[in-house]
Amino acid sequence: AERQRYTVQLDESESEQLSIKVDNLHLIMMVELVDLAGSPHLNGAKGKILNYDPESSRYHVQLPDGRLASLSPANVILGPETRCTVAGLESAAAQRHNGTRAKVVGYDRETGRYEVMVAEDSHLILKRENVRV
């Protein structure tokens, strides 16, 4: 089984490193804001995901002006190489991928879907709402 850990360097000294479980690391990342009907002026802007609330299934995102917003995964586009988790797949064949760690390979704006790599030789095409950080 894959260890699913990050090696984190604590300072500029290569000797101070920790091996941290994925679930114990908080990543802050930049995303593009999209399909915001209530704030269309923010569509295309960059925001910073500060955390994810599993109870509401929403990201807490810092907007360009510093305000915070609670946004659905359908309202953000993650960048390539973003580590993520597959979630919310409902078909019997696809449910086995829920909870699987993956990496964003790319995003197709025409279809509104990510290509994510779940294994070296296995890729999925997913809606924005089926990908979580």
Q: Which amino acid is at 22?
A: V
Condensed to tens digits (0 to 9), the pLDDT of residues 55-72 reads: 999 999 999 999 999 999
Which residues have CB under 8 Å from 37's CB, separation 6+?
none
pLDDT at 6: 67
Q: How far is CA 75 from CA 22, 87, 133, in A?
A: 24, 16, 13
pLDDT at 22 over 80: no
pLDDT at 13 over 80: no
